């Protein structure tokens, strides 16, 4: 018995210096009753209390941040990495191409599709293995098939990140296992997700609850690790994640009516907290926000202002004082914006513009600002442009004006 205990102690001491194996998705047997969490969740106008270290809710139509908690802090992202992996693959290769699994891909640890060296499988099926069961082996196989190696594929990922303006995001792998140079922010992950969801193949991929892939001609059934997909009203994607360094992560796309949002929670202590936080944020958003017709509001306000200020401008040395205004084209990007329901009645606009101008006034010249306020908060500001051209008086104009005000004796005799 003593010898056995001594051997056990030696084994324990030997293993102690080695770090625990790091996972890259939901391999732990932690069950969550999502339906019960939805039923028990309470929604109010108060900001929800959250366990997750960083979170964001992004409106897909306007790009507005509706909720943020440390949303621009650099953090580890675990298998939400695979959002970038998938979109890079989809945009750069034929999905029905068959590839062979390498020894390196087959030996990749963590969450797995279950590939073996020499297996034959299509790119499409690898993508389902990547996004549904979060296969790290599928991620490496895709990277090698696309770029020849994991480092070269990471270069493609970083090039795409730069193209999308993700300045606080950097990739070192296609799977998301913890490393110091592999990070993002909740906000930039939402931006990446918003971009990826515009791709029809990607949208189908992340919205699939169950799928059967074919490996060497044999079928294998997969289930999506996203616990909210098909359960919480309006959820249509997109990706889970877990590593020891990142903790529990979940990116969720949800649409109800005409409102479409992306919710990102990163760094939750448990899967249960990850689920609760996501539900809280999604329900809070749909309870408290609705779209506001910003374009119509701004256009109507400007029209009414011009109607009531027909003699507002004095254009020195100009041929006319009648100047028409328009809002710059950026207003087209803000057809609607999400606004808290209790603030819509407090929406107001102001125009800041100088009444005295010097001719010439060119068409499309920026003359002032139209600002939109929700209560005391400035939520949008647009340039006011001249919609007409008013030229400067020339010598002929001065002579014409002179005769208008000082008629000749001949004109007096005739009239």
Q: Is the CB of residue 262 less than 8 Å from the CB of residue 250?
A: no
Residue partners of 310: CB distance under 8 A and separation at least 6: 322
pLDDT digits (tens, 9 = 90+) for 201-211: 999 999 999 99
Distance CA 269, CA 272 (A): 8
What's the pLDDT band for 318 if we cut at 50, 70, 90?
confident
Residue appearing with tokens 């056995």: 4
Q: How large is the average pLDDT for residues 238-260?
A: 97
- Here the tokens at position 78 are 């675990």
Highest mean predicted confidence (pLDDT) among 25-29, 185-189, 385-389: 185-189
Q: How large is the average pLDDT for residues 64-76?
A: 97
Give the three-state DSSP class for 168.
coil
- DSSP 3-state percent helix, strand, coil across the chain (nearest 5): 35, 25, 35
- Domains of the chain, by residue range, sit at 35-288, 293-395
Query: Burial of 234 by CB count in 10 Å (0-12 exposed, 13-18 middle, 19+ buried)?
Result: middle
Domain 35-288 listed as CATH 3.40.710.10: yes
| Domain at 293-395, CATH class | mainly beta
DSSP annotation string for 345-383: GGEEEEEEE-SEEESPB-TT-EEEEEEEEETTEEEEEEE
Q: What is the pLDDT of residue 28?
A: 54
First vs last Cα of the chain: how many Å apart?
133
DSSP annotation string for 92-158: HS-TT-EEE--HHHHT--SS-----TT-EEEHHHHHHHHHTS--HHHHHHHHHHHHSSHHHHHHHHH
Q: How large is the average pLDDT for residues 339-344?
A: 89
Q: What is the pTM (predicted TM-score) of this model?
A: 0.83
Distance CA 77, CA 169 (A): 10
Distance CA 95, CA 129 (A): 13
Catalytic residue numbers read 79, 82, 134
Q: How large is the average pLDDT for residues 293-318?
A: 91
Nearest to 216 by CA among 137, 90, 116: 116
């Amino acid at each position: 018995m003593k010898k056995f205990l001594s051997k056990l102690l030696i084994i324990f001491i030997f293993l102690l210096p080695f770090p625990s194996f790091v996972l890259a998705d939901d391999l732990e047997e932690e069950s969550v009753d999502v339906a019960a969490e939805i039923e028990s969740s309470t929604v109010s106008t108060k900001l929800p209390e959250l366990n997750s270290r960083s979170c964001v809710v992004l409106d897909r139509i306007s790009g507005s941040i509706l909720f943020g908690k440390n949303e621009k802090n650099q953090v580890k992202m675990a298998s939400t990495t695979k959002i970038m992996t998938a979109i890079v693959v989809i945009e750069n290769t034929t999905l029905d191409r068959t590839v062979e699994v390498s020894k390196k891909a087959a030996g990749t640890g963590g969450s797995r599709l279950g590939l073996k060296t020499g297996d034959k499988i299509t790119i499409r099926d690898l993508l389902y293995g990547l996004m549904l069961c979060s296969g790290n082996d599928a991620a490496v196989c895709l990277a090698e098939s696309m770029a020849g190696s994991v480092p070269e594929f990471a270069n493609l990922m970083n090039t795409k990140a730069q193209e999308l303006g993700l300045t606080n995001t950097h990739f070192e792998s296609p799977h998301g296992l913890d490393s110091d140079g592999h990070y993002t922010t909740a906000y930039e992950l939402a931006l990446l997700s918003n971009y990826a969801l515009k791709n029809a193949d990607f949208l189908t991929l992340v919205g699939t609850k169950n799928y059967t892939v074919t490996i060497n001609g044999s079928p294998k059934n997969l289930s999506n690790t996203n616990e909210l997909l098909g359960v919480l009203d309006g959820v249509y994607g997109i990706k889970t994640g877990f590593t020891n360094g990142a903790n529990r992560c979940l990116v969720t796309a949800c649409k109800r009516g005409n409102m479409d949002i992306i919710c990102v929670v990163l760094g939750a202590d448990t899967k249960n907290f990850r689920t609760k936080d996501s539900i809280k944020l999604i329900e809070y958003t749909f309870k408290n926000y609705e779209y506001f017709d910003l374009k119509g509001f701004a256009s109507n306000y400007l029209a009414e202002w011009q109607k009531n200020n027909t003699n507002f401008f004095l254009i020195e040395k100009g041929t006319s004082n009648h100047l028409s205004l328009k809002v710059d084209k950026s207003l087209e990007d803000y057809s609607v914006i999400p606004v808290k329901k209790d603030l819509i009645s407090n929406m107001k606009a102001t125009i800041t513009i100088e009444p005295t101008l010097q001719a010439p006034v060119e068409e499309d010249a920026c003359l002032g600002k139209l600002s939109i306020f929700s209560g005391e908060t400035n939520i949008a500001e647009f340039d006011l442009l001249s919609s007409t051209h008013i030229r400067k008086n020339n010598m002929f104009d001065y002579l014409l004006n002179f005769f208008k005000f000082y008629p000749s004796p001949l004109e007096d005799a005739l009239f």
